[in-house]
Amino acid sequence: MSADLAVCREKIDTIDRHLLQLINERQRITLDVVRAKREAGLPVLDSGREDALLQKLWSVNQGPLSEDGIRRIWLAIMGESRIYQALSADPGKAE
């Protein structure tokens, strides 16, 4: 393996670790969102919010990731958030 390839892979590994930390932090915050929505009597799922988030991401995207790529990635992240919320015994009391 060339030195350049090894350096590139090391950079990608570092970014992947950072992404994982950020996604896990996002997951933890989703339980706070659920708690706040329940206290306010709001529905947990807000598809308008998801659409607005995608629009916001598209507007700041500088590429090379395409809009379709952003949609696929964030729909997967948001889907995992829903699963995480559903699997939490009581999202209103989760830490």
Single pTM value for the model: 0.79
Of the candidates 34, 6, 23, 9, the residue with the CA atom closest to the CA atom of residue 77: 23
Summarised one tens digit per residue, pLDDT across range 55-89 is 999 999 999 999 999 999 999 999 998 888 877 75
Exposed/middle/buried for residue 85 (C-beta within 10 Å: 0-12, 13-18, 19+): middle
Summarised one tens digit per residue, pLDDT across range 14-62 is 999 999 999 999 999 988 988 888 889 888 888 899 999 999 999 999 9
CB 34 within 8 Å of CB 85: yes
CB 50 within 8 Å of CB 78: yes
CB 11 within 8 Å of CB 66: no
Q: What is the CATH number of the domain that holds 73?
A: 1.20.59.10
Range of the domain at 43: 3-87
* pLDDT, position 12: 98
Does 92 map to a domain?
Answer: no
CB 85 within 8 Å of CB 91: yes
